[in-house]
Amino acid sequence: MEKFEINILGCGSAVPTMRHGTSAQLVNIHEKLFLVDCGEGTQTQIWKSGIRVTNMNHIFISHAHGDHFFGLVPFVSSLTLMLSRTDDLHLWVPFDLEEPLRHDFQHYCQLSFKLIIHPFDTSRKTLLYEDKEMKVETIPLSHGIPCCGFLFCEKPKLPVLLPDKCRAYGIPQRELGKIKNGAGWMMEDGTVIPNSELTTPSDFMPRRYAYCSDTAYNPQMIPQIEGVNLLYHEATFISADEMLAVKYAHSTAAQAATIARDANVEKLAIGHYSLRYNDEKPLLAEAKTIFPNTEACQEGMTISL
């Protein structure tokens, strides 16, 4: 099966520490790389990981808090300094980040490639990227400032040709591409053979990954992420500190697990841990009581779908 994996570069909150970097992930879908958030030190984590980012053409930033984008300008600059990049790079940011970033790139970077900035509205579901194999759309979140997550979706495969049927109806080889793309076939006497008789549905099950960055408990997201193979959901606090979660528009581990349970997802990965905790065991234990198939993210972890 073609690759669909999530590489965790940073899963802490607020500031980088000796234990955790700030938010950043590399999503690999069919060897196309997408960087999701870019906290301080992200480029160091990428170089340490050994992942080649020559095939990374899109970066998605969830919101304008520094622990999600302070690594962006130095990383993009390094793509020129270290890799001599020439391919266009697409940067997708909330509207309120567009002008500050344009200023910084203009004043502090001399790039060897074209940087294309795409501002978007975080308050509504928006299709940001699409190709023949997959698409990326925003997930509106609740965090006090414009903020969203991102939903990565594979597309269904084309139907499988039934070669014996195609031969039986005398369909020329040159027409098989049209049949595979949904066309029927007209016989010489005008009879139309429907596509359903010439093909069979692919048994490929498209996979989906939902990245839900900083957010208060937000059940409104559930219909959009229903049944995803993997949900990354911030779990900044334990329930004993729920008042802090409310104050700062974050979630507890129990709330993240409740979203996962109610959305009937396959697996939950939690992250964005508060600095107040020395380890993630209490957060993980709390989430598992509600949604057993939960994993606590760590830097260097790769999760395959």
User: Would residue 44 be called left, alpha or beta, if left means φ above 0 and alpha means ψ between -120 and 50 degrees?
Assistant: alpha
- Using CA atoms, how far apart are residues 236 and 109, in angstroms rounded to an integer? 33
b/e 110-144 (16+ beta carbons within 10 angstroms → b): ebebebebeebebeeeeebbeeeebebbbbbbebe
Q: Which of 37, 67, 87, 131 is catalytic?
A: 67
Please answer whether residues 43 and 26 qualify as being in contact, where contact means their C-beta atoms are separated by less than 8 angstroms: no
Look up 67 and say whether it is catalytic.
Answer: yes
Give the strands of the sheet with 302-304, arranged side by side: 115-120, 89-94, 56-60, 32-38, 24-29, 4-10, 302-304
**Structure tokens belonging to residue 45:** 């984590």
Task: Report whether 204 contacts 134 (CB < 8 A).
Answer: no
On whether the CB atoms of residues 22 and 15 are closer than 8 A, the answer is yes
Element (H, E) at 237: none
Question: Measured between alpha carbons, how far is 88 from 84 in angstroms, rounded to an integer?
Answer: 12
**Which residues participate in catalysis according to the annotation?**
67
